[in-house]
Amino acid sequence: MRVTIENVSKRFETTPVLREVSIAIEERELFFLLGPSGCGKTTLLRLIAGFYDADAGEVRFGERRMNGVPPHRRNTGMVFQNYALWPHMKVWENVAYGLDIRKVRGAARRQRVDEALEIVRMGGYRDRSPNQLSGGQQQRVALARALVIKPDVLLLDEPLSNLDAQLRLEMREEIRRIHEETRITTIYVTHDQDEALSLADRIAVMREGRIEQIGAPRTLYRHPANRFVADFIGECNWLEGEIAAVDSGRARVRTAAGELLADTPEVTGVGARVWLGFRPEAGTLLGAPDEHTLPATVERVTYLGRVEQYRLRIGPIDGIKVLQTNPSQHHAPGESVALQLPPGDLILLPRG
């Protein structure tokens, strides 16, 4: 089911929560709404579910306009942050609840509940109570309850936020597997960047009720539209710069730390004031400088096993973060090093 959101706005009393939001979510897509607390992502999800009405704009499932259609007539399955399982019902009964409301009876009911439990690998727990299950198992039951009604759209509201780190990793894999198996259009709300990057087909990054950028995870990470997206999706070092020259799709950027070559968008011209950014993992530390590196001094070193984290000073600029994966060489505080930054890993954004 394709979900289209066109110029949707929503206020609570006098406070705007969504501001002319437009998104087209393709059939069978696993689509993420990502942003900080208060950005409007959960409000948008609940508006799609029918729990809220839009003040302006349209929501469509396929060609059907959903404005004013109550939740029980939208055929959406929703998984809440707190799972919302009935404590007095067994697992099998919890999963069957949506079918009972729809008056599905007999063999069809039994078959669909059993199938849903098998999809989430909870068939062996059908006769347990929710309080006899771990958090991850309760999450699987909540997913089965949403899937059993065969929804056109599956809505997930921060479903992993109550799980510990290891369970979150396991459930990420399960959600991806279930989506690949069912191919249901799925809209997933989270503030966890790693969750979104590892699972999503596409992501909409939201801020203050607006869409900042929509794209595939790799596109958002490597080609953010602005500094908010770059900083929210992951860590980024920023240098103030000015374009000194442009040649063959590359810009020579003059900064206080030195000059760097960067792949550049066509709109960037000589003299343009820019932000030059790079991810901590983009840099490589070398023992000796050359014309393609910046001389730097190690300020601090943090060893984390699989990575070593460095804080560098480059000219007058301190606090530059660089990560070295599987480090074989160690650089001590006070040591002079050379920072190598590939042109394709640099981010150029206009600076006002």
Mean pLDDT per 10-residue segment, the chain (352 residues): 98 95 98 96 97 97 96 93 89 94 93 95 94 92 94 95 87 93 96 95 98 97 95 94 89 92 77 94 84 88 90 94 86 93 92 79
The pLDDT value recorded for residue 81 is 85
Fold of the domain built from segment(s) 237-350 = OB fold (Dihydrolipoamide Acetyltransferase, E2P) (2.40.50)
- Domain ranges in the chain are 3-231, 237-350
Q: C-alpha dihedral over 126, 130, 132, 138, to 10 degrees?
A: 90
Rounded to an integer, what distance in angstroms lies between the CA atom of residue 263 and that of residue 344? 5
Give me the pLDDT at residue 276, please: 94
Q: What CA–CA distances, in Å, run from 49 to 19, 67, 223, 244, 316? A: 18, 11, 32, 51, 52
Give the distance from CA 335 to its chain's centroid: 37
Domains 3-231 and 237-350 share a fold: no
Tokens of 150: 């065969």
Q: 3-231: CATH homologous superfamily?
A: P-loop containing nucleotide triphosphate hydrolases (3.40.50.300)
- Res 326: pLDDT: 78
Q: What is the pTM of this model?
A: 0.92
Cβ neighbours, 10 Å, residue 95: 29
Candidates 88, 91, 87, 113; CA nearest to 102 is 113
